[in-house]
Amino acid sequence: MAETYPGYDRVAGAKHASRSEVIAANAMAATSHPLATQIALDILKAGGSAVDAAIAANAALGLMEPTGCGIGGDLFAIVWDAENNELSGLNASGRAPALMTIDYFRANNIESIPRFGPLPVSVPGAVDGWFELHERYGRLPMSELLAPSIRYARDGFPVTEVIAYYFELNARRMSQYPGFKETYMPDGSMPKKGEIFRNPRLANTYEMIAEGGRDAFYRGEIARRIDVYMSEHGGLLRYDDLAAHRSEWVIPVSSSYRGWDVFELPPNGQGIAALQILNVLEGYDIASMGFGSAEYIHTFVEAKKLAFEDRARYYADPDFRDVPVEQLISKEYAKERRKLIDPERASTSLPAGEGLLEEGDTIYLTVADSDGNMVSLIQSNYVGMGSGMTPGDLGFVLQDRANSFSLDESHANALEPGKRPFHTIIPAFVMRDGRPLMSFGLMGGSMQPQGHAQIIVNLVDFGMNLQEAGDAARINHKGSSSPDGSRMDDGGVVHLEDGFGDDVRTALEAKGHVLGASDGGFGGYQAIYFDEREGVYYGASEVRKDGQAAGY
């Protein structure tokens, strides 16, 4: 790829691009909702840091896009600290409650942890994540960061098209759970596109957090209300589980891809799967294959299968299981795994190397400030709006992340009290020559590591610019072994987004791939690229969602 910024020699972008990139000299924010992006910019203009703006935007998204996130869920972040030239990671995922044991499910004749209802609720880690980030990198008081969302929660905001669709979808599977209708369907139905929605209950909860800090959520009134609610409705989460919660600062791990150092967080998340895919792909001349070719798609899918077999076998909470991260993301390991790929035939099964998570709704946002600080932040309630359990009058849904645990004691991701479940949500960051280059993420269950790898390949191998790389048609392979220990269909199914030709589909089927539907399930992308030579930020936002990248 040319040393200059990708896409510099084109006017108005490639044919598939939805729009040009956003470019600004001082700061940039990219989120999945335009109002959240504007809130982030307002915080930056008021003297807030990139992290301040990210927290404010995340709070807004918990109100405006509760179909993908909220304070009942977990959070992960990667932060570039410009003053100290340091990249840090935060794992703000919650743990299994003390009462949540394999024996409990066996005694109740439950063969797998349910997806919805009271039983899959693990400790929500997002709020503690906010305060950990704020303590280290914040400038403005938390009350100022939450104030915009409190106002919108009381005064209301118009529901966007994508969120209206997901509101209706979630209502069908969650309206029976206590508190859900009262919070999200006060008039008997979910808010429609363009309608004004208010959530005064969440406004009150945000005010308690602004005034009482993290302890208001984990040791104060909010924790007590969650305890009562879960006890009354058959849940396992208790006050003591909330009071014991703490986030963990971690060191991001990386692997290079043709000179780009791609950083992910180590397990209990799936970020290193993206690095494993890229390591395998680096051994091929991807650029010569051409974007959208059957040769490239076949190679990508086979690399993904290899990574996901390891994901199923090894990825788990490192406090409970030894995860061989260094081996899994090494070039030597990728060289050996690459030998298993047949260039002419799709594999139906592959072994994990020696040494169930297909869906999930999430938000990803990224912010960069005038001092050069950048934050890559992802946050989720897991499947849709989460468990459906909406405690008391607090105005949010608790996550269902414990659904990803295995009830097989021999599995790395086996349920244990106090253990963090395998996580799908992953932020990403790129550096080159020791300098920050790009903060990005792509939401959507098991699509996420596949999407991370595709974005990097689009930029590096196919020379796309930041917006084009996200707009380009995507590949989503489903059917690899899942971290709950289950096997999916042999060989899985390749879902190709509209934009790939019929001849390519025919060629893939000739290699033995099974092709699926081309709608939905391709994730949501935001990114910021820093051009250090010119001192400007480039921003891009997902064309498939309601989002916006904007700067000043």
Nearest C-alpha neighbor of 549 from the set 2, 9, 22: 22
**pLDDT for 363 beyond 80:** yes
d(CA 293, CA 371) in angstroms, rounded, equals: 42
Per-residue pLDDT at 479:
82
Sign of CA pseudo-dihedral 331, 332, 333, 335: positive
Helix H segments across 175-270?
180-184, 200-212, 214-218, 221-232, 239-243
Radius of gyration over every alpha carbon of the chain, rounded to an integer in angstroms: 22
Averaged pLDDT of the chain = 93
3-state SS class at 5 = coil
Q: What does the pLDDT average to over 69-97?
A: 98
pLDDT of residue 491: 83
Residue 520 in this model has a pLDDT that exceeds 50: yes
Torsion-angle region of 179 (φ positive above 0: left; ψ -120 to 50: alpha; else: beta): left
Q: How confident is the model at residue 76 (pLDDT cuts 50, 70, 90)?
A: very high
Neighbouring residues of 332: CB distance < 8 A, sequence distance ≥ 6: none
Q: Is the pLDDT of residue 443 over 70?
A: yes
pLDDT at 72: 98
Residue 18 pLDDT class (50, 70, 90 cuts): confident
Which of 413, 403, 313, 415 is CA-nearest to residue 359?
403
Residues 141-156: what's their mean pLDDT? 98
Residues 442 and 524 sit within 8 Å (Cβ to Cβ): yes
Cα separation, 286 vs 74, in Å, equals 35
More confident residue, 439 or 498: 439
User: Of 24-33, 157-166, 473-482, which gets the smallest average pLDDT?
Assistant: 473-482
Choose between 481 and 110: higher pLDDT: 110
DSSP summary character for residue 402: G
Check: CB of residue 485 under 8 Å from CB of residue 408: yes
Give the model confidence (pLDDT) of 366-414 as tens digits.
999 999 999 999 999 998 899 999 998 999 999 999 999 999 999 999 9
User: How far apart, in whole angstroms, are the C-alpha atoms of residue 250 and residue 88?
Assistant: 7
Q: Residue 112 above 50 pLDDT?
A: yes
Percent of the chain predicted with pLDDT > 90:
87
Q: Answer yes or no: is pLDDT of 475 > 80.
A: yes
Is a pLDDT exceeding 90 seen at residue 348? no
Q: Which residues are catalytic?
A: 362
Instruction: Say what the pLDDT of residue 256 is.
Output: 98
- pLDDT at residue 358 greater than cutoff 60: no
Confidence category of residue 12, pLDDT binned at 50, 70, 90: low
Is it the case that residue 357 has pLDDT exceeding 70? no
Average pLDDT over residues 233-239: 98
Per-residue tokens: 272 = 């290193």
Report whether 60 contacts 152 (CB < 8 A): yes
The predicted model gives 207-231 an average pLDDT of: 98
At 276, list the tokens.
């494993």
Report d(CA 469, CA 467) in Å as an integer.
5
Class of the CATH domain delimited by 250-359+425-551: alpha beta
pLDDT of 136 higher than 80 = yes
| Strand ranges inside 247-353, DSSP E | 248-250, 253-257, 260-264
In which band, very low, low, confident or very high, does the pLDDT at 456 lie, cut at 50, 70 and 90? very high
pTM of the full structure: 0.94
Tell me the residue type at 220: G
For the chain, which residues make up each domain, given as ranges?
26-67+98-247+389-404, 250-359+425-551
Q: Is the pLDDT of residue 356 over 80?
A: no
Tokens of 318: 């490192």
252 exposure class (CB count in 10 Å sphere: 0-12, 13-18, 19+): buried
